[in-house]
Amino acid sequence: MYHIDIDKTLCKGCGLCIVVCPAHALVSGTERNGMGYLIPSRMDEACKGCESCAMTCPDMAITVTKTS
């Protein structure tokens, strides 16, 4: 299992992570950060650990870690 961490202070809500995730572990969210950007919602149980989201994020706001 993997955990997706999104740094809410860095995320600008561009949605690139949502587009590139082959497992659909990231979806459009409803929570806004301090700058007013919508933060993607994560579904850790769907994450396959490919780190496509982290590699694509232009703000380096995403990290993926193995939990078990």
| pTM for this entry | 0.93
What is the tens place of the pLDDT at every residue in 22-56?
Answer: 999 999 999 999 999 999 999 999 999 999 999 99
Amino acid 24 reads H
- Report yes or no: 3 and 49 within 8 Å, Cβ to Cβ: no
Instruction: Detail the DSSP E strand segments found in 1-68.
Output: 2-6, 26-27, 41-42, 62-66
Residue 41: phi, psi to the nearest 5? Answer: -90, 145
Amino acid 32 reads R
Q: Which domains does the chain have, with CATH numbers?
A: 2-66 (3.30.70.20)
